[in-house]
Chains A and B, each alone.
Chain A
Amino acid sequence: MAGLSNVPARTSLRVPDDGEEDVPRRIVAKQSTQDLVFTHGVRSIGMLVLVIVGSIGVFLGVQARPTFRHYGWSFFTEYRWLPAQDIVGIAAAMVGTIEVAMVALVIAFPLSLLTALFISDWAPAWLKPLMVRLIDMMAAVPGIVFGLWVLVFMQPHATHVAHWISKYFGWIPIFKVHTDVNYPIWNQAPGYPSYEGSAFIAGIAVSMMIFPMATAVMREVFSEAPAGEKEAALALGATRWSMVRTVVIPFGRSGIIGGTMLALGRALGETISVLLIISEAFKIKWNVLESGTATIAEVIASKSKEATPAQLSALLTAGFVLFLMTLLTNVIAASIVSRGRSGAGTEI
């Protein structure tokens, strides 16, 4: 027995304990000069971009200080824009910005969702790449072109729709128009607001701008829905819609919300089509169908050129507020998109 127990002690490789601790060797990957230059060059350019880009945010923030000191909180609560009397506030413009963006979302969201679903689950294989390309192309169409389209083509129809809605649903506060709805739209009593140049009509143009963005995000997430789960649903006898409802939409929920938020961020900052369409009015107006509103971006575009330094500071502050609004939406959107089930990195 004693002999047997000695055998393993002999055969195992016992390193003689000479008091030395085992320390993992430090691996030093020495970069070549070429790589050092590359790394540092790229890093310094990255930092340069950081400085350029960051300085805009800092600059806007710094410029906002004198405005806040001068106007205080009334800058946010004052709706009039009378620089000559030193009464300046962005309450009306903020309300208008949110209104236009909301109208755009109400129009664009269902269209984007349904179009993204069509591309991912309904379209035949030959149509899919064509539609993806078309929507990418739509994203590149300049905003001013959609503005023109709404101005010439949509507005005459949209005013009828607005008239119809205000006539039959005017009892809902946001659809009320402060005019006699029984007058035909081409014959409004003078002095009453009309249906043209309203937040609703500007929202149509903005919805065309944000639709491709929202659709692209949603489509991408939908296309990542696991094929196995989809096939399982179909194999269990689900109709196509039941499959979409139980597999694709729950899987793509983060993309739906995130894409919508990204689109909202874009809608808040849209300038030129709004500037073309709306008739500017500094009034807090919750009735979206009524003529006359203002958005922050549009106010900056229309008021900057003849602004005194004090007003310019106020406009910069308005720009800063707008930037913070879009930034907040984008940050929320990004965190929602990244939290979803989809979006894992590509690895071989």
Chain B
Amino acid sequence: MSIMTARHAAPPAPEPESPIRTDDDVEVIRRTRPRTSDDDLILVGAVLGSLGTTWLLYEQVLPFSGSLGFFVSWYLVFLVFYAGLTAITRPRAVVVDRVMTSLVVAAPCVVGLALGSTVVVTLAKGMGALVHVNFFTHDMSGVRPSDAYSAGGALAAMVGTVIEVSIAVAIALPLGVITAVYMSEVGGRGARVVRTIVEAMTALPSIVAGLFIYTIFIVNLQMQRCGLLAALALAVMGLPIMARASDVVLRVVPGGLREASYALGAGKLQTVWRVVLPTARPGLATALILGVARMVGETSPLILTSGASTFLNWDPLHNPMNSLPLYIYNAVSSGEPRFEVRGYAAAVVLLAIVLTLFLLARLVARGRTR
């Protein structure tokens, strides 16, 4: 009796040894599937039926053409067929569910196609210049944009990007992280003001940050366009982004950990240095590397601040300094076919840099979760 009541009280509890099953039969677990073959056949039927109908109507009967239109029509006809076929045997709720599932599955496919085609198109267009080693080892000095791909390259732009982004990161990253520590760990009224302003300034469009630096340094202080100013513009743009991203990461560090640290007698600095920052490390690294990736790809502040050089320039203080986004922009807007191809090749390099940074962020994040 007591066994019975216990079982009734907690039916989902797993039974370690069922006393009923005494024979030696090996239980084969039945594979459960949410779908039946009927469902699968309805799907296949809808796909094939809509393909046939669309082909007949779109290509043969109606005066339409174009592959994009064909696929869109096919999808729409498929939705109608799928809904119709389902409605024959299933209630309305299931019909709606299937139509919505088709939409929900289609959306990431569309985005995936777009993203994939972005990479493929860029790679395909830039291949002509990419296969030449000199693209990575030469600059454009003394090379006409229309020259063959075996002369000239984007070395100056790559070096420029690395220098400018390094300076910008050296300014924005420590300031951003320390500001985040101030906002989430020290707190107080001042911190709230800083948080409000920093959050507001994440809305600053990058071109406005560039215009700010341009007006102050180039117009008012009569400075020359150089790499340092571009780095400053990037830093001004990136500082609020990094501070805010770090703040978000620090805030999700559980309060219990801090309290445990204080209870053990640690001071504020020790708590931040030994508990909060190590706990937040993977998240912090990811947020910061993504911020750096955003800086690497930012073009608009550079148009105004750095100037575009054709020659290799290691000095961020003097003379214009080229960078990859700027190189791409100048190449593509030049209208010279060969220069355009070089631009696409530079875009591939830029994508590769961003991708590398991203993979680095993943590695850092994964390495610390254990």
Contacts and interface: CB of A to CB of B under 8 A. Distances in A.
Interface of A: 31-32, 34-35, 37-39, 42-43, 45-50, 52-54, 56-57, 59-60, 63, 110-111, 113-115, 117-119, 122, 131, 133-134, 136-146, 148-149, 151-153, 157, 160-161, 164, 208, 211, 238-242, 244, 265, 268-272, 275-276, 297, 300-301, 304-305, 309, 312, 315-316, 319-320, 322-323, 326-327, 329-331, 334, 345-348
Nearest to A142: B297
Given A241-B97, A241-B100, A145 B203 contact: no
Contact of A46 (B100, B182, B267): B182
A110 B100 contact: no
Contacts, number: 273
Nearest to A271: B300
The listed residue with most A CB atoms (<10 A of its CB), out of B93, B94, B253, B303, is: B303
Per DSSP, chain A at the interface is: helix
B125 interface: yes
Per DSSP, chain B at the interface is: helix
Question: For chain B, which range describes its interface: under 10, 10 to 19, 20 to 34, or 35 or more residues?
Answer: 35 or more
Interface in B154-210: 175-176, 178-179, 181-183, 185-186, 188, 190-191, 193-194, 197-209
A144 B111 contact: no
A137 B355 contact: yes
Given A241-B96, A312-B219, A330-B199, A152 B121 contact: yes
A309 B220 CA distance: 10
A37 B272 CA distance: 13
Given A53-B239, A138-B115, A46 B178 contact: yes
B299 interface: yes
Given A323-B205, A330-B199, A142 B254 contact: no
Given A56-B201, A327-B203, A269 B208 contact: yes
The listed residue with most A CB atoms (<10 A of its CB), out of B108, B175, B206, B253, is: B108
- Which 4 A/B pairs are nearest by Cβ-Cβ distance? A142-B297, A269-B205, A348-B256, A114-B107
B138 interface: no
Contact of A271 (B206, B215, B257, B354): B206
Nearest to A29: B262
Interface stretch (B24-32, B142-150, B328-336): B328-336
A239 B68 contact: no
A334 B68 contact: no
B56 interface: no
A45 B209 CA distance: 21
